[in-house]
Structure 1
Amino acid sequence: MQRIPPFLLLLCLSLLLWACGSEAEPKSRKPSEPALPQARYLESDDAASAQDDEELLPKAMPAAESEATESEAPKSEAAEKKHVRSWKRSQILPHQSRLKVGDKEELPQEALQVKVRIDGFRARVLLDGYYRNDRKQQFEGTFQLRLPTGATPWYLAFGKVELERKLPVLIGDVLYSPEEARKMGMLPEDVLRDRFKSFKHPKQARLLPRRKAAYAYDETVRQRVDPALMEWSGAGVFSTRVFPLEPGQLHRIVFGYDVDLSKLGSDWLYRLDLPAGKMRRSVDIELSKVPGQKVTLSTGEDPQEAEGRLYWNLSDPETRTIEVRISGPQNLALCSIDPKTGPYLAARFTPEFEAKESDLRQEEALFLLDTSLSSGPNAFPIQRKLLQAILETNADRIARFNVLFFDVGARWWMSSWAKNDAATRKALLAHTDGLSLEGATDLEAALRQAAQPSFLPASAKSSYPVFLLSDGAATWGEKAGHKLSQILKSSERVSALFAYRSGMSGTDLGMLTRLTRESGGALFAVTSEDQLAKAARAHRTAPWQLQAVECDACSDLMLAGSPTVIYPGQALTLVGRGHPKDGAEVVLKLRRGSAEQVVRCKLNARIDSELASRVYGEVATRGLEDYSWALQAEAEVYASYFRVAGPSCSLLMLESEAEYQRFGIQPQEHSYFVKKQPASQLLAQARAKLAGRLRDAKAEFQAMLTGLAKAPGLNFELAKSVQLLIDELPVESFYIASKPLTPKLLTWKDISGKLSEQLASRKLDYDNVSAEAKRRFDLAGAADAIRALSSLIENRPGDLVLLRDVAYSTEAWGRGDKAYHLLRTLAEKRPYEPVNWLGLARCLRSMQAEELALLYYEICLAGTWHERFGEFRKIATMEYLHLLRKLSKEGKRSRVLDYAKNRQESLGREFKLDRADLLVVIEWNTGNSDIDLHVWEPGGEHCYYEHPRTKIGGRLTRDVTQGYGPEMYVLPQAQHGVYQIKAHYFARRRNRASARSKVLVTIYEDWGGKYEKLTRKTIKLEENKQIHEVARVQIDK
């Protein structure tokens, strides 16, 4: 049988939802804890959990120009009239809705109802998914979803379907009719009211500041009750849990989000993809009728019309893709009135002005081509065509070029500039055909290479544009937009960065917008192959500097993405307060060199829509989040008021009002602040006050400490002496740099056949990926192993269990510098978990950033951590003392040497151990799991939680029973013989069908002595109550 080439497999896309965590019976020796009322938590961080490509929910096609300052290449009249088609998508894309109850187990979906409201350029989508637990056991369910690019959730509810007259509940009894659908509202307060007949006791999520929501979630989970949390994981990726899924019962998940329509030529397009599988499907679409518009539905049905709106109902449609295409008036304005905060405007328009080719001539260009897992199966062929088109179309300007292929690593195609001729381009395309698409996305590594290419001598005077061919979703390395953009701004070589978006899901519009804006480049929309040639030349057009924007009768005006330059054909989203008159104009004041221009854009249609205020809220919140460490509180207020789930706020669902009160979560009235503090003023004040400081690593570190002092579930106070030390340290002490990864196995032929098929379909099996990573580690080293294993992160970037899992393996392979940012993400999301800060200190130490490592150890000791973390302080003190003694012993000139000597003396009195023949520490990646450290000494004595002290002096720290550890065994004076180190696994999550944990083991022989030896390794635990051997240590005396 002939094997299908992996490249062809990339044409197939499917998204496999995953389940995180495992629960099993608690140890019989320990009394069960009283269960608190159930809770559910829906998180959303810059982190949901799965970036799988079989989406949980159907999705609208992402907008080609939503929320970013994108440009379309100028179009000819003939092109405008041509019926433009979007990029061809995989024909077997299932968009399956899956509710997971284990690593591989799932519950069937019986029906999906979709209600869509389209107002101008915006759509609001509300989905009712019905799932039946056909098992005899109660479960906790997990599903993850990647929303359309630019989409933002605004609603989540979950509960059991209940009918008074009939049991069991059949799906036909609960689906609402077209007449009922037409009457249903699309505001949060409407959802439960409209579903009351069959949804009597649902739980409705609240939008809360991210850290507060996460803390309430974790504390509820710790009580062996499963809440629901939806967290953002970047690029529209979200994850959530639901509980309880009662045996034999039908359950309903209601989920709502907003998304911009895409633009194809001069038409607006809304696309909805329905999941595959045997289930009932019903779709109701309504649309605001605008004079002069022509609306067509891809299925051919004619709409019903009532009160200025068009309605369609599709019951069990045969097609899985439904498109609404709208032609007619452009430059649309949405208007609404919030009774508490006033009127709002949201407009989408394209200014028209003459295109002039730039006089700037640069003969060299760099291309950054994304080869991470997320580039397959559909994005990479588009990026490859863009690369080819740009080189061919601009052969008269680009004489020499080079291409950087990047994922977790970054490598240049050529060791010098390549000539831009037909033969070279042919060789390049042939080379790309064989490249494997795997691993996470390290955007930082790519941008650093663009700013200072390793193939160029430092003295070279080259200046060039950079073309970024990527979705911009950073899942590895540094992820903060202001830090990444600074790499470009500080480079004397990069003249501008240009990026492109094709309408594929998973694109981080915010990141692409920021990078292009702050480098003086642009983000171009390329939503069809017909636009390739024009898009390939679009960067040649000379841009205009944006000086001001005005609109009569409106204030607090902001453009989405805060563009500083405008290109011809660039679509813009304007929001503000107030209502423009019919026929009002948006006025743009532009400058290019000494030339000035005023461009007027008439708003051709005004639509009264409740969506306008939320578009304003999204733009305002995203702007405030750009200054997150300085405007975090303001961003949280705006996100909460306008229900914008994302980096600032998450959706949390607890069991009862009493549960919210237990965590101090009270309804907040933010309307006064929103009304009196316009977002544009807050942003202007922040820019003026913080000019230059946003890239100050020391100021950011101090802001982090301020945030820790306010973090829920944590008492944190840094000693005055540490504060003084921070003040004395220079800014450079707070910058970190890691060495690049240089994997060698880069083609499909280097990958085992089974895994290559999984990578192509993105149905990754944890065990297969782990086995491949181990194989590559043995064959080629850490870089290749990390590239393989990091695919798990790329596929599920918000899965905190996986983040810790991969971080542990990366650290054990000797690349703590690459584990650092994974642990930093964990610390930002869960600041009240001390093991995150301890891991960061270890990583910094491995990077020789000893001054900063010292401060992170001080963070470990400055917090009063929950008692469930056992003797964390003792273990942190042991590690810290190890560093302090090293610094003092080496006696190198250091800015912290005096502090280190004084601190060593004080901590030495607390941890009275100078050396130990054997010291073992374990920690693990799954919360609410109990993993016990066991050591069998040569004489047969067994040191464990019930016998923590042995005759020869072995000591074991307190048993940690609720997740992460750490636990430590110390033996100052060992006897001759073999010491058997084992781990005993007790999973505590009983509402999962399957799960696994990973343990990071640190073994010191002759700790603190002349012949000290350090070993780090990881072991995978799967079977509950099973004892796993970790290591055997031979000590000779």
Structure 2
Amino acid sequence: MKKIVSLIAVAFFNAVFSQIPTLEIGNEKKHPVILQEAKIDTKILGNLATSTATYTFYNPSNRILEGTLTFPLPEGVSVSGYALDINGKLRNAVPVPKEKAKEVFESIERRQVDPGIMEKVEGNNFRTRIYPIPQKGSRTIQITYHQELKNSASDYQYFLSFANATTIPKFNLKVGIIENVKTPKILENPDGSFSFQKSGNQWVAEITKNDFTPHESLKVNIPKDQQSSGVVLQKASGDQFYFAANAGMNFPVKEKPRSQKIAIIWDNSFSGSKRNRDKELQFLDAYFADNKNVSVSFSLLNNTFEKPEEFMVSQGNWSGLKSRILNLKYDGGTDFGALKEIAGAEEYLLFSDGISNFGDLNIKFKKPLNSISSTPTSDFILLKSLANQSGGNFVNLNEQDTQSALNIYKKLPVRFLGFKENPDMKELFPNIGTVVNEPVNIFGISSGNLGKLTALFAVGNENFEVPVDFSNAQQTENWQIAQLWAQRKIDELELNPMQNRQEIKKISEQFGVVSKNTSLIVLDDVNDYVRYKIIPPQELLADYQKIVSQNKGRILEQRKNLLSKAFDKTRELKTWWNTEFKPSEEKVYPKIANQSTNAPVLAERSYSTSNAKVANEVYSDEAAVVKNSGAKITLIDVESKEEYMKDFQNLQSAEVIYQKYLENRSKFEKQPSYYFDISKLLFKKGDKALSLKVLSTLADLDLENEELYKTISYLLKQRGHYDKELWITQKILDWRPFDAQSHRDYALALIDNKRPQEALNIYKSILYQEFTDEISARDNGIEEILIMEINNILKQNKNVDGSKVDDRLKADLPVDIRVVINWNKDNTDIDLWVTDPRGEDCSYSHKSTQIGGRLSNDFTQGFGPEQFLLKKAIMGKYKIKTNFFGERQNILSGPATIMAEVYLYYSDGRQERKIAVFQSQKENKREDDSKILIGEFEF
């Protein structure tokens, strides 16, 4: 397989509407990819804006590169257009289900022809992958989204942040304000020359610069047109229209009663360190200046929910609590599943980004919870849901100054009750009864001429009326009111994403809006649109229909399942098991050849144990003698050779190690191996809680990264955190349902959680699931591992109903030795070697040994697994080794993580399992020192 250099470029928009991505390339002194050109075009109608950002990235190096661009969008904003340059011309993406987009993307990627994909990940964050960026060449992407502008009594405000933007070789910015009489007022100007000129019925401002560095952001106040009705229509079907109606709630604000005792929940997970703490403290300054005497229960949330600490604020003095917050350490993942109500609290203030990456929210607060967001990467939908369901308020510090935020917190929630006249309207958003902020845009579907209507709102027990004039509604053909409506509907549906999964997909695909369930994809070849049954963009539609017509509806994508191969493999395993092996005296074994013409070729390397030591006291049961036998397993602790480990070698207590870890972390913040190694070290010292906290921090390093999550799941399994193992593997399965290994990992976690019937059902579904040709080829041979595990469930659990498992898959196959290795990275080749007491190696090029050792298929491009079986062990010592044959560089997820499950007497009633988890030491090893000893059997 051709070696691909994969570099992860992470761009976080520095403020609410920042549009200039700053690429950060891990482990590189200089950025190998530069932003060559940025073009931003925004059109504004009333308080609705549509922005299209076009970025060109240049690769000055002599290598083909791959980049991943991740960026947040503000509350209520989603990507609704994406394009990628194909043969020098931008091609628009089309919507497909999220899991299908990823499956197609990875299938085509294996042919070295990458499509483009835009997907929504956790929170309101979006991700696109750019490949290939050719050597000395460039790639261009285009992103479109719609937003509602914030407004005051007299103005709408457009804000574009250029915070931390670097010099851009080619830069173009254009803003057009349509159908507005008064001159817009520029409050912040990127270079001083940006100004609006009247052109027909719109105001236009534009600058084009070379080697441009913005001096400040762009902030424009747009005077409201008092003659406008505030209603915009877009034709739907028949006599129906999509509408957007702006309703100003100019009725008196009512304040809620003040609480005497509050609970502050402070998210101090690792991602909490990325929040805007200054804004949060300013908010609390204002809060305690307004609520001078209050009792506070202060609780910390990370991967656990810590016991509350009590503080008394008197005469507005909250210095003790403030000092506690200022001195907090931020570490661990975030588990909303750990949240609990706090006794005596009259209301809650939750400071968090709302992204729970280590457990699911499972509580409804009985007292009002006010959720406070200060980072643009937040999960706004979850934070708003928590507030709305409990009767609290959502405070967005990203978009409000301190006093405005305090006013929002203090007021009684305002709820939308629909229209007084009960007109012929469909699909109103916000939903009737929903909490809204002032002012509100109401979206829906209606007939065109509704006349003068009255919108109803409730504050506490009092109702208010607001006139909305549809009689002078402005009809537009070039404004995507339909997509704005669709986005509001998706926002409502995503409050319960699993329950509304199909409906979200339907709306997202119909209107081309990226959601948790739908992505946008661009393919290079029209034949791939046909093969994967994806309707292409308009420019390819004629060719697509011609190919489909020529094939007369024949299914071009011949997806395959594993069932027939599983039947064959079961027969083969039975034959092997029933064979009597008689080793000869002569010990002449074949010379190991290069592994695969399709894999990266590395020189054959000799075995050395210089990078490992026997772990005498690493885990309590590693050297235990197996019950009722003379056999034993000894696992090896593969030591990290990272330079940072020298700072920990003489530290004795777990607490001192943890403090040193925090002290050094800024230097290794984006290096996953740092958290892996320190978590292992803390576990050896006996502090399981600190070890788990550091491990869970891996989940905070990236959004929806299956490679990091697989690493977490391996260590959770090894350490017996089976409930969390199940949650992590379920998340990976949600992201990658097209991947057989995702299903298998989840099934194994179900077994660990003593749910064998559910696990058996998952195994059965894997065999019947259909896979693309590329993924099927990648995982060729996995059915051998599945057959062993299916029959082990049946053998070990007599109460399991196996009647729905085909009899052709059933076999009683107990073995003395079974070893299975898995790894966390795709496109990676790691080999399992087992050397028997006679010195014979069982490996990828010598899969059968004279004493009956058997190795499964060699996995060179996926996540594994590889399996060694020996029915009858002979006396002596067996060595288990792994060889890192080749792997794709992926800086963000670090070196490959390997999990080896080592079994004695598998499926014969005396089954014992030990687990080793370690990382590739490839970066620190000589080419002639490639194998790692991970364990030994002794019979």
TM-score (ref. length: structure 2): 0.76
> Does the 8 Å CA contact 1:98/1:107 hold for their aligned counterparts?
no
The answer to which structure has the higher helix fraction is 1
Which among 304, 321, 326 is matched to residue 197 of structure 2? 304
What is residue 170 of structure 2 aligned with on the other side? 280
Partners in 1 of 2:709 and 2:229 — Cα distance? Answer: 43
Q: Counterpart of 1:406?
A: 301
Cα pair 2:895 2:920 within 8 Å, conserved? yes
Shift of 1:464: 3.3
Counterparts of residues 388-787 of structure 1 (less than 5 Å): 389-391=286-288, 393-395=290-292, 398=294, 400-414=295-309, 418-421=311-314, 425-446=318-339, 449-450=340-341, 453=342, 462=344, 464-478=346-360, 484=361, 487-488=363-364, 494-502=366-374, 504-526=375-397, 531-532=402-403, 535-536=405-406, 538-539=408-409, 541-543=411-413, 546-549=416-419, 555-560=425-430, 562=431, 564=433, 566=435, 570-578=438-446, 584-588=452-456, 590=458, 592=460, 597-600=464-467, 608=476, 610-626=479-495, 628-629=497-498, 631-667=500-536, 749-756=659-666, 759=669, 764-779=670-685, 781-787=687-693
**Alignment match, 1:217:** 105
1:143 aligns with 2:69: yes
- Could you list the per-position Cα deviations for residues 404-434 of structure 1 after superposition, in whole angstroms to 9, with x for gaps in the alignment? 21122221342xx544447994322222222
Distance (Å, rounded) in 1 between the aligned partners of 2:892 and 2:33: 11
The one-letter amino acid of 2:714's match is Y
Contact between 1:140 and 1:991, CA under 8 Å: does it hold in 2? Answer: no
- In structure 2, do the counterparts of structure 1 residues 255 and 131 end up closer, same or farther at CA, with 3 Å as the change threshold? same
Q: Using the alignment, how far apart are the partners of 1:334 and 1:776 within structure 2?
A: 61
Partner SS, residue 801 of structure 2: helix
**Structure 2 vs 1, CA of residues 513 and 994 (structure 1 numbering), >3 Å: closer, same or farther?**
closer
Native 8 Å contact 2:311 2:320 kept in 1? no
Is this contact kept in 2: 1:293–1:326, CA < 8 A?
no
Within the candidate set 892, 896, 899, 2:801 is matched to 899
SS in 2 for 1:968: strand
Contact map agreement 1:207 1:651 (CA 8 A) in 2: yes
Instruction: Name the count of aligned residue pairs.
Output: 813
Once structures 1 and 2 are overlaid, which stretch shifts more, 214-223 or 418-427? 418-427
Deviations 1:352-394 (A, max 9, x none): 33344446x7643322211123333442333344345445533
- Give 3-state SS (helix, strand or coil) of 2:66's partner: strand
Are 1:229 and 2:117 an aligned pair?
yes
What is the DSSP-based 3-state SS (H/G/I as helix, E as strand, rest coil) of the residue aligned with 2:872? coil
| Cα distance change on mapping 1:102 and 1:927 into 2, 3 Å | farther
Query: 2:313, 2:748 → 1: CA distance?
Result: 46
Counterpart for residue 249 of structure 2: 351
Cα pair distance change 1:422/1:428, threshold 3 Å: farther
From the superposition, tell whether residues 788 and 992 of structure 1 become closer, same or farther in structure 2 (CA, over 3 Å). Answer: closer
Q: Deviations over 1:769-793 (max 9, x none)?
A: 4444344444464443443344443
The structure 2 residue matched to 1:870, chosen from 776, 780, 797, is 780
Q: Is the 8 A contact 1:937 1:979 kept in 2?
A: yes
- Superposed, which structure 2 residues align to 1:854-893 within 5 Å? 854-863=760-769, 866=776, 868-888=778-798
**Among candidates 79, 97, 108, match of residue 34 of structure 2:** 108
Structure 1 position 618, deviation (Å): 0.9
Are 2:33 and 1:24 equivalent residues in the alignment?
Answer: no
Unaligned runs of 5+ in 2: 539-556, 564-652
| Structure 2 CA distance for partners of 1:987 and 1:713, relative to 1, 3 Å | farther
Q: Secondary structure at the match of 1:411?
A: coil
Residue 935 of structure 2 corresponds to 1033
* CA offsets 1:475-509 (integer angstroms, 9 cap, x no match): 3322xxxxx3x620xx6xx222222344x311222
Q: CA deviation at 1:862?
A: 4.8
The answer to whether the Cα contact below 8 Å between 1:24 and 1:990 also exists between their aligned partners in 2 is no
| Separation (CA, whole Å) in 1 of partners of 2:855 and 2:29 | 33
| % identity of equivalent residues | 20
Which residue number corresponds to residue 945 of structure 1? 844
SS class of match (2:357): coil
User: For structure 1, which segment, 125-134 or 648-657, has the greater mean C-alpha deviation from structure 2 after superposition?
Assistant: 125-134
Letter in 1 for 2:443: V
Moved more, 936-945 or 427-436: 427-436
**8 Å Cα contact 2:512/2:520 also seen in 1:** no
What code does the residue aligned with 1:343 have?
F
| Equivalent-residue separation in structure 2 for 1:583 and 1:526 (angstroms) | 38
Give 2:730's aligned residue: 824
Are residues 994 and 541 of structure 1, via their aligned partners in 2, closer, same or farther at CA, if it must alter by over 3 Å? closer
1-side partners of 2:69 and 2:434: how far apart? 40
2: CA distance between counterparts of 1:200 and 1:51? 22
1:303 CA drift (Å): 0.9
Report what 1:698 is aligned to. none
1:132 aligns with 2:58: yes
Give me the whole-angstrom Cα distance separating, in 2, the residues matched to 1:1019 and 1:410: 30
* Aligned residues of 2:425 and 2:445 also touching (Cα < 8 A): yes
State how far apart, in whole Å, the 2-side matches of 1:264 and 1:814 are.
55
Two-structure CA RMSD over aligned residues (Å)? 4.2
Say if 1:582 and 1:605, in contact at 8 Å, map to a contact too: no
Q: CA deviation at 1:1033?
A: 3.4
Cα 1:973–1:333 change in 2 (3 A) is: farther
Which residue identity does 2:141 align to in structure 1?
A: I
- Residues 709 and 728 in structure 2, CA contact (< 8 A), matched pair in contact too: yes
1:981–1:1029 CA contact under 8 A, matched in 2: no
- CA distance in 1 between counterparts of 2:853 and 2:677 reads 35
Alignment partners' CA distance in 1, 2:818 and 2:229: 68
Contact 2:897 2:917 in 1 (8 A): no
Assess, with a 3 A threshold, how the Cα gap between structure 1 residues 517 and 293 changes in structure 2: closer, same or farther. farther
Supply the AA of the counterpart residue of 1:912.
D
Deviation at 1:921, TM superposition (A): 0.7
CA distance in 2, matches of 1:394, 1:239: 42
Deviation at 1:942, TM superposition (A): 0.7
Deviates more, 1:505-514 or 1:600-609: 600-609
Letter in 2 for 1:666: I
Question: 1: distance between equivalents of 2:889 and 2:410?
Answer: 60
Q: Which residue of 1 aligns with 2:638?
A: none
Post-superposition Cα deviations, 1:174-200, rounded to whole Å, max 9, x if no partner, equal xxxxxxxxxxxxxxxxxxxxxxxxx74
Q: 1:379 aligned to 2:272?
A: no
> Counterparts of 2:248 and 2:760 in 1: how far apart (Å)?
53
Aligned-partner Cα distance in 2 for 1:280–1:937: 64
Residues 24 and 986 in structure 1, CA contact (< 8 A), matched pair in contact too: no
Question: Whole-Å Cα distance in 1 between the matches of residues 713 and 677 of structure 2?
Answer: 16
Whole-angstrom CA distance in 1 between matches of 2:268 and 2:889:
39
**In structure 2, C-alpha distance between the alignment counterparts of 1:1011 and 1:582, rounded to whole Å:** 74
Where do 5+ consecutive residues of structure 1 fail to align? 1-21, 27-39, 41-48, 63-92, 161-198, 457-461, 479-483, 670-710, 718-742, 889-896
Measured in 2, the distance between the counterparts of 1:217 and 1:580 equals 42
**Distance in 2 (alpha carbons) for counterparts of 1:553 and 1:1026:** 79
Distance 1:933 1:444, change over 3 A: same
Within 1, Cα distance between the matches of 2:327 and 2:658? 6
The letter of the residue matching 1:495 is K
Q: What code does the residue aligned with 2:442 have? A: L
Change (3 A) 1:100 1:357: closer
Question: What is the identity, as a one-letter code, of the residue corresponding to 1:953?
Answer: G
Tell me which amino acid in the other structure corresponds to 2:348: V
Q: Could you tell me whether the CA contact under 8 Å between 1:546 and 1:591 is conserved in 2? A: no
- Cα contact 1:139–1:244 (8 A) shared by 2: yes
